[in-house]
Amino acid sequence: MTVRRGGGSSSSYRLRRSSPTGPANATVVLSGPGTVSAYDGVGRDDLLLASLTRHLVSGGAQVLQCDMPARHTGVPSEEVDEVARAERLEHLLRAYAHPASGPVSLLGFSLGGHAVLRLLGSTRSRLVDRAVLVGTVVGQKTFVNAPITSLDFVYGSCDLIGYQAVDAPADELPPLTYGPDVYGKWCASRLSCRTEPTVRIHVLNGLGHTLHPCVAEPVMDPVPFLAALTSA
Greatest mean pLDDT among 7-16, 88-97, 212-221 lies in 212-221
Contacts of 223 (CB under 8 A, 6+ apart): 48, 51, 52, 55
Tell me the pLDDT tens digit for each residue of 49-83.
999 999 999 999 999 999 999 877 666 677 889 99
Q: Is the pLDDT of residue 9 over 50?
A: no
* pLDDT the model gives residue 2: 56
| pLDDT, mean over the chain | 89
CA 218/CA 65 separation, integer angstroms = 30
Tell me the pLDDT tens digit for each residue of 100-119.
678 999 999 999 999 999 99
Q: What CATH number does residue 6 fall under? A: 3.40.50.1820
Amino acid identity at 228 = A
* pLDDT the model gives residue 127: 81
Domain residue limits at 33: 2-229
CA 96/CA 64 separation, integer angstroms = 8
Tell me the pLDDT tens digit for each residue of 114-170.
999 999 998 776 789 999 999 999 989 999 999 999 999 999 999 999 876 666 665
* pLDDT the model gives residue 71: 77
For the chain, what is the domain count? 1
* pLDDT the model gives residue 173: 60
Residues in the chain: 232
**Is the CB of residue 108 less than 8 Å from the CB of residue 76?**
no
Mean pLDDT of 193-201: 94
Mean pLDDT of 185-193: 95
Contacts of 206 (CB under 8 A, 6+ apart): 156, 157, 158, 213, 214, 215, 217, 219, 220
